[in-house]
Amino acid sequence: MHADLRARYLDASSEIAYCGKEFRVYRSMRIADAIRFYAALNTRWDSRQLEEDLETAGLAPEFEVRRMKRAYQRALVLALACASKPTTLIVEYGDEFDEAPAAALLERAVARAEHAIVTYRGAPGDHARWYP
């Protein structure tokens, strides 16, 4: 199974959403600005799913990114990434989704993905989870 997943990551035609630990939406934006910006960059975009994911995370279009806690900034990135309808989801440092609404979105996104990898800064040997 792991070899199959690695092959999918190397295949340029697969749809992968990567939510790295350092990836953030521009701090000067409001959520509504970020939605317009990222929707323009994606050929596959599901506005309805994005709306549901933002609601799950407790995020509203008028929120300013610079005023949001890290967990909610991570949730925003995840919601935007999921709106592109990826088949494979990669999320670094899942432990940063430490607010209940953000954690609920992470759980929902992983359950929805065909394949998902979530890394954690936990104890040695327990730093990543693979979801088929």
pLDDT tens column, 52-110:
999 999 999 999 999 999 999 999 999 999 999 999 999 999 999 999 999 999 999 99
> What CATH number is given to the structural domain containing 56?
3.40.50.300
In which domain, by residue range, is 51 found?
A: 2-131
Predicted local confidence at residue 21, as pLDDT: 86
Q: How many domains does the chain have?
A: 1
Report how far Cα 69 is from the mean position of its chain's Cα atoms: 16
Predicted local confidence at residue 7, as pLDDT: 41
The token pair at 104 is: 């609920």
**Could you tell me the pLDDT band of residue 14, with boundaries at 50, 70 and 90?**
low
Q: Quote helix, strand, coil % in the chain, to nearest 5.
A: 50, 15, 40
